[in-house]
Amino acid sequence: MFSQFETWYRDRHEYARKWKDRTGGKVFGCFCSYVPEEILVAANILPVRVLGSHEPQDVTEQHLFGMFCPFCRDVLAQGLKGRYEYLDGITLAQACIHLRQAYRAWEENVEHPFSYYLPHPMHVASPHAVPYLKEELKNFRKAVEEHTGVTLTDEDLDRGIRILNENRAAMHDLYELRKGPAPKVSGLEAMWVTVSSTWIDKEEHTAEIRRVLAEIDGRDKDFGEGTRLMFVGSENDDTDFLGMVEMVGATVVVDDHCTGTRYFWNQTPEMDDRIEAIAKRYVERPACPAKDHVVRTRFPHILKLAQEYDVAGVILIQQKFCDPHETDMVPLRSFLEENGFPCLFLEFDVTVPMGQFRIRVEAFLEMLMEEDLF
């Protein structure tokens, strides 16, 4: 039922190349989920999130300091190894400095016709955040217009906003199915959907979700037997790890990842000023910890998800050396545990020690189910 999403997840580059051949359009690589894709889609550009490949590599050492996170190294390695050679442009929305450095090294070492560093408010709770981002988005829009030679109209922006919002709504509907006691969607399937949404043509992706949603009532299996878990962390597209967690007796029912709910959770509102609407959407979306200061919106948001999806526990997925998430990890764990959600902390690298992690996950599940164990 979800095989198309799995194929998209595995064959991301082949998909993008074929999309270019088929449409004659441009493809832009997006570093970070804060890139305003509405503007790119309005210009008929395919935005693709640049992620790593979970393989050891030896090409980034001269570009990135040793204690930069494994994700930014893995991302940069993809560029240096030529795996995104089809990109017409790259753009980074500022959130963390590790990824910014990966972007800078990519920009200096890999040729693309277009690159754009998009400054982005770090203090998103400030009343100045939306006006500030609005002005930056105007500059970004202008740069995209100059590159494509097309002046974007309000109708173009409306189309971009509509296409993004429809995809977000479809993923929301899919996540709704995971709230009940017998979810018809596994965590692994949901990860194929959400991660692939970051690089597949949004209209095509939305249509495939709608097709699945129309058929899912007739599905003859569910995932109600597993212990309900939530994943929380930065970027996470590690399907091998998630697959292992579900194989040993869990069902992952919700997440707070920038490749998951943080990416699609809120809609761009309808406003006369489309650019302001887009700015508002990215300022008000579930926050990355890099931007969640001084006012903290992230913790209550995560708690609400844990409660609504009725999880028994939370796996805290920490990319090694990811400073923003490391900042949150200690207080977040205490906060969740004080609110009745036990946590398992795991530190991730480009590859993970599956055997060791399996023991930890199984011990965690035993801990959550001990009434049955003893």
Q: Which residues bind another protein (CB under 8 A)?
A: 342, 347, 353, 355-356, 359-360, 362-363, 366-367, 370, 373-374
E strand residue ranges, 185-243: 227-233
Q: Cβ(286)–Cβ(298) under 8 Å?
A: yes
- For residue 253, the SS3 value is strand
CA distances from 261 to 191, 245, 286, 310 (A): 10, 19, 8, 16
Report, in Å, the least distance between residue 223 CB and another protein.
22
* Closest to another protein by CB, 103 or 348: 348
* Closest to another protein by CB, 286 or 313: 313
Which two tokens mark 15?
């998909």
* Closest to another protein by CB, 182 or 359: 359
Sign of the CA dihedral with 332 first, then 334, 338, and 342 last = positive
Sign of the CA dihedral with 327 first, then 98, 75, and 5 last = positive
* Closest to another protein by CB, 218 or 355: 355
Report, in Å, the least distance between residue 188 CB and another protein.
21
Report, in Å, the least distance between residue 324 CB and another protein.
20
Report, in Å, the least distance between residue 42 CB and another protein.
45
- Backbone angles phi and psi of 55, in degrees to 5: -125, 145
Report, in Å, the least distance between residue 349 CB and another protein.
8
Question: How does 362-374 read in b/e, with b if 16+ C-beta sit within 10 Å?
Answer: eebbeebeeeeee
* Closest to another protein by CB, 295 or 369: 369
* Closest to another protein by CB, 67 or 294: 67
At 365, which amino acid appears? L
Report, in Å, the least distance between residue 62 CB and another protein.
23
Q: How far apart are CA 373 and CA 280, in angstroms?
A: 49
